[in-house]
Amino acid sequence: MKLSERITHLTGDSDGWDVFYRARRMLSEGHAVTELTIGEHDVRTDPSILHAMALSAREGHTGYAMVPGTDLLRDTVAARVQTRTGVPTTRNNVMITPGGQSALFAAHMAVCDPGDVGLFLDPYYATYPGTIRGAGAVARAVPTAAEDAFQPNADWIDAAANDAVSLLINTPNNPTGVVYSRQSLEAIAEVCQRRDLWLISDEVYDTQVWEGEHLSPRVLQGMADRTLVVGSMSKSHAMTGSRCGWIVGPEEVIDHLINLATHTTYGVPGFIQDASSFALTAGPELEEKIAAPFRLRRSLAMDILQAQSTVGLVPAQGAMYLMLDVRKTGLSGEDFANALLDTHTIAVMPGESFGSAAAGHIRVAMTVEDERFASALTTLCSFAEQLAQRHAAE
């Protein structure tokens, strides 16, 4: 019996997450590991959201919900998007999905035929290439450069776009923490229009912006009809396990995506949608409350990193991560991460886990309480300095 190549070739022989898996094994064996690996809030879903979820369930919203999403949540998302961007948006432009990951897959299913090329930027969120392959397309990475603070290079995108049909971007960015500039996004929009590319814009971190401002490319001239925006409750409202996200795009695309959902996910539980509607209309104070720990930890990190000269910081403009340059140690990101775990039981993600462009870097998730986070980052910097001194002496 043979399995499909689509399922057996989603990822390569290694997904680059060996350090994470090793840290989890150490934890299961009783070792005290400080995990700065994945983007999971250390403060869970707010009690007010859980109350709304429980109330909806008790009132009976536990059966099949409408496949496109409830009218209430679709209207709520549409109003939120229109208010934030100024682009006219109605429920007909919105489909609710089981989380942002489902939305990413559905978006590529909508625009890629088998064998088409889907572009994505390197460094990238871990699932991107597998998502594109899962849709039957060919995943092609377009590098960004550490020297350019990992801002997209439109010329490099253009050079890779000869036979491509789509481009996937993510701002604020995971893993780098960079917020794409208006200049970068306008250049991307020009390439997409000239090359007739669909733009899939992953904006799940849009409430976590520490410097500058988030710009959705859907607002740029000529882009509303060729952009699919992916959003989620996971990061903005610490609802990672609730699995509620959405796609915003042209009505025709949404109509076809609803048909796809009918034959795949069959919608999102109604009580989760009701809790999401409550959360999205609870006001900016709730969103700021959820973002505040990461804003504070970024400030703590800036103070620690500015007091040393070995570890470099990629501009930490958004999201819950720091991308740190450890090349002065003479080690790859993967070797540094393994050594840090072995020596100090601190787990971070190698930059190489997210593609080749971030080689020699590590990603640090700001997802443990403040004092423990500051202590771990201070230890990391001291360890890097020791390694750098040893490397310089060799």
The angle, 0 to 180 degrees and rounded to 10, between the axes of the packed helices 270-280 and 47-58 is 140
Per-residue confidence band for 17, with pLDDT thresholds at 50, 70 and 90: confident
Sheet containing 245-248: order of strands? 94-97, 245-248, 227-232, 198-202, 164-170, 117-122, 138-143
Domain boundary among 283, 314, 343: 283
- Report the predicted TM-score, pTM, of the whole model to 2 decimal places: 0.96
Burial class of 356 by CB neighbour count within 10 A (0 to 12, 13 to 18, 19+): exposed
**Can you tell me the mean pLDDT for 265-276?**
98
Last residue of a domain, one of 283, 309, 341: 283
* 57, part of any domain: no
pLDDT in tens, 47-103: 999 999 999 999 999 999 999 999 999 999 999 999 999 999 999 999 999 999 999
Environment class of residue 274 by beta-carbon count within 10 Å: exposed (0-12), middle (13-18) or buried (19+)?
buried
At residue 289, does pLDDT exceed 60? yes
**pLDDT exceeds 90 at position 112:** yes
Q: Does 274 share its domain with 240?
A: yes
Please tell me the least confidently modeled range out of 13-22, 118-127, 201-210, 303-312. 13-22
In tens, the pLDDT along 26-40 reads: 999 999 999 999 999
* 76 and 166 share one domain: yes
Give a yes or no: residue 50 inside a domain: no
pLDDT of residue 317: 98
Q: 360 Cβ partners below 8 Å, 6+ apart?
A: 146, 325, 326, 327, 331, 332, 333, 351
240 lies in the same domain as 314: no
Q: Which of 7-11, 15-19, 59-63, 364-368 is the least confident region?
A: 15-19
* Local confidence band at 13 (pLDDT 50, 70, 90 cut-offs): low
Residue 131 pLDDT? 97
108 contacts: CB under 8 Å, gap ≥ 6: 118, 131, 132, 134, 135, 137, 166, 168, 200
Q: Which residues contact 14 (CB under 8 A, 6 or more apart)?
A: none
Evaluate the omega torsion of the peptide bond into residue 123 and state whether it is cis, within 30 degrees of 0: yes
Average pLDDT over residues 124-140: 96
Judge whether residue 257 has pLDDT over 60: yes
Q: Which residue range is the domain that position 138 belongs to?
A: 63-283
How many residues make up the chain in this entry? 394
Going by C-beta distance under 8 Å and a sequence separation of 6 or more, which residues neighbour residue 194? 158
Tell whether the model's pLDDT for residue 321 goes beyond 60: yes
What was the pLDDT predicted at 11?
A: 85
- pLDDT recorded at residue 14: 58
Query: Based on the domain organization, do 216 and 341 belong to the same domain?
Result: no
The single residue listed with the structure tokens 């979820």 is 53
pLDDT tens track for 142-200: 999 999 999 999 999 999 999 999 999 999 999 999 999 999 999 999 999 999 999 99
Rounded (10°) CA dihedral 207, 211, 216, 221: 160
The predicted structure's pLDDT at residue 15: 63
Residues 192 and 319 in one domain: no
Distances in whole angstroms, Cα of residue 153 to Cα of each of 87, 156, 180, 202, 373:
26, 5, 11, 18, 33
Listed residues 265, 283, 301: the one ending a domain: 283
Same domain for 32 and 136: no
